[in-house]
Structure 1
Amino acid sequence: MNLDRPVTPDPYPLLPEVPSFSVISDDVSDGQPLKDDQVNALGDTSPHLEWSGAPDGTQSFVVTCFDPDAPTPSGFWHWVAVDIPGDVTSLPTGAGADDSSLPGDAFHVRNDVGGHNFSGAAPPEGDQVHRYFFVVHAVGEPNLGVDADVSPAVVSFNLAFKTLGRAIIQGTYQH
C-alpha cells in the first residue's frame, strides 16, 4: 500500500456553493486531533455537535462524518444521520450509537463499515494524518426522501440538490 499518496482535496468546495452557518463541539476542536472517544478501537462515540444560524427555510438536517483521506477512491463515510427535525440545534455525545439515540424520526444510513451508527476514526497504521469532516447540512424539506438502506453516496447526491446551507468542523487523526 502506498502510504505516501498526495493529500486529497477538501471535498466540500467541490460541491454546489451554499451559505455556511456555525457548528461547535465539546468533543471536536476544529483542525485538531480527535479525542480517543471518537477513535474506532478506543471509544467509537459520536461527538457532541451544536449548530446555529441555519438558513431560513431549513426544515431538517443531515449530519455526516467523512474521511476524504482514506486509501480508497471514494473516501470513507463514518456517520450519516438523516431527517433530523428542523427545530433541533444539537446532538449530544453518543447520539450516533443507534437510531433510538436520534431525535424525532431521524435515522442512520449505513456507514462504510456497514453499520447504522457512528464508526470512529480508524486510518491504516503509519498512514498520513486523516481529516474527519463533521458536517451539518441544512435541508429545505422535512425529509431527504431516502431510507436507511441507501448508501452514503445516494444521501450525498440528494444533498447536492436539497442543501440550503452547510456547517463544518474538522478533526484529525493519525494511527
Structure 2
Amino acid sequence: MFEVLVFVYENYWRGDACPEPQHLGRKLSAAGFESDEIAQALTWLAGLNSATLSTGMIHVPAEIALETAAASPPLAPAADSLRIYSVAEQDHLGADCLGFVSFLEAAGVLPPHMREITLDRAMATGGDPITLDELKIIVLMVYWSFGEEPDALILDELCDDTEGRLAH
C-alpha cells in the first residue's frame, strides 16, 4: 500500500488535485499496481480525506494552524499538556515512530490536529507495527492532504534514508 501512496504523492501535487477514487483506481491499475494494494490505498486515502475535512483547516499552513489552535481555547491543547499514547498506539507505532512524532512536534512543524490525523492514519494501516519509513510516508500524506509542503529541512528528514547514517 505504501508504494501506492508514494506514487499518489509524487504524481498529484495536493490532495485536491487528485482525481476521484474510481478514476484514481484506474490510473493506479494502469501504472501496474495490484488490485488489493489499490483497494487498501483508496480506503486509506478516503479516511485521510475524511479526517482532513473534519478539521475544517484545509489549505492552512502549519504556522497558521498552530496560531488558530491557540486562538480556540476549548479545542486547543494547553502549552504544557502531554499526549498520552494508548497501549495499542505504542505497540503499533513503536519507540522510533513515537520519538519521530515527538521530534516533529518539538520542531513546531506538526500541529496537534495534524499529529492526531497522522496517528489515526498510522493506526488505520493495521497488521504489523509500522516502520519509521512508513510513518514518514504517512506524515507526507497528511501534509499533502492539507495542500502544503513541509519546510525544506523537514521534507529532507521525511525523505531521507536513515539506514546509511553514522552517529558521531
TM-score by length of 1: 0.29
- Write 1 or 2 for the structure with the bigger share of strand: 1
Structure showing greater Rg: 2
